[in-house]
Structure 1
């Protein structure tokens, strides 16, 4: 496995599965005994977190609106 020029690396799927990592999970890095350790960040969740995670990235639009038009619509100015 090779680091990108930005220091990024992809965690192999089998390792992600074994660690229970899912898309958008947060991880932290430790340097311990000359080894890099990657650990999931354990955070408190709210009841809506899982629903939001399931919906993340699913919104698509057939409407061609400018940023200003979207802001007007979401602010109820239309």
Structure 2
């Protein structure tokens, strides 16, 4: 997807990219340069939700048996 830079250095982020990242008017974005020199656009104002594995990090909690832990791991709850 290509876009044109205006005289003020502004660009329009393509709708497919805005939809993918959940960018709406007022959203903050961040541009980061990677090791290979390319630039990556990310949402800067939104915390990424914890994965189901990050939610289990630490301990399983009191009262969970093996079946309940496995169901959580598989995303069945």
1 or 2 for the larger relative contact order (CA 8 Å, sep ≥6)? Answer: 2
TM-score by length of 1: 0.49
Compute the TM-score of the two structures, normalised by the length of structure 2: 0.49
